[in-house]
Amino acid sequence: MPSDYGYINARLKGQHSRLLKPGAYEELLGLPDFNAFAKWLATSPYSKEWQEAQTRFAGLAAAEEALAANFNSSTRLMRKISDGGPNKLIGIILRRWDLENVKAVVRGIHNHWDSDEIFRAVLPAGNLDKVKLKELCRKADLRELADTLATWGEELAGPLTRALPEYQKEHQLTGLELALDQFFFSQALKGLAGLDYNKSLVRELLRREIDLLNAKALRRLMAREGIDLPEAVRNYLPGGKLLTLEKYAALLDPKESQRALRSIRGTSLHRLLTADDSQGGREEKLDREEWRQKALAYRGDPLGIDVAVGFLWQKYFEVVNLKLIARGKHFGIPAEDIRHQLLTA
pLDDT at 281: 75
Q: Do both 12 and 64 map to the same domain?
A: yes
**pLDDT in single tens digits along all 345 residues of the chain:** 456 899 999 999 999 999 999 899 999 999 999 999 999 999 999 999 999 999 999 999 999 999 999 999 999 999 999 999 999 999 999 999 999 999 999 999 999 999 999 999 999 999 999 999 999 999 999 999 999 999 999 999 999 999 999 999 989 999 999 999 999 999 999 999 999 999 999 999 999 999 999 999 999 888 877 778 888 888 899 999 999 999 999 999 989 999 999 999 999 899 889 877 654 577 888 888 888 999 999 999 999 999 999 999 999 999 999 999 999 999 999 999 999 999 987
206 close to 239: Cβ distance less than 8 angstroms = yes
Interacting residues of 28 by C-beta distance below 8 A, sequence separation 6+: 37, 40, 322, 325
Q: Do both 60 and 86 map to the same domain?
A: no
Domain's final residue, options 138, 163, 191:
191
Q: Do both 134 and 164 map to the same domain?
A: yes
pLDDT at 1: 47
Q: Do both 75 and 125 map to the same domain?
A: no
pLDDT at 163: 98
pLDDT at 2: 58
Q: Do both 86 and 53 map to the same domain?
A: no
Q: What pTM does this model have?
A: 0.93
pLDDT at 280: 59
Please tell me the number of Cα atoms within 13 Å of 5 on its side-chain side. 18
* Domain-embedded: residue 72: yes
Q: Do both 87 and 20 map to the same domain?
A: no
pLDDT at 227: 78
Q: Do both 62 and 99 map to the same domain?
A: no
Q: Do both 45 and 139 map to the same domain?
A: no
Domain's final residue, options 130, 162, 191:
191
pLDDT at 229: 82
* Domain-embedded: residue 2: yes
Q: Do both 72 and 96 map to the same domain?
A: no
* Domain-embedded: residue 200: no
* Domain-embedded: residue 239: no
* Domain-embedded: residue 289: no
Q: How many domains does the chain have?
A: 2
Q: Do both 91 and 180 map to the same domain?
A: yes
The DSSP letter of residue 278 is T
Residue 60 lies in domain:
1-81+319-345
Structural element, H or E, at residue 41: helix 34-42
pLDDT at 344: 85
* Domain-embedded: residue 198: no
> Three-state secondary structure along 191-221?
CCCCCCHHHHHHHHHHHHHHHHHHHHHHHHH
* Domain-embedded: residue 313: no
Q: What burial class does residue 293 get, using C-beta atoms within 10 Å of its C-beta: 0-12 exposed, 13-18 middle, 19+ buried?
A: middle
* Domain-embedded: residue 76: yes
pLDDT at 278: 56
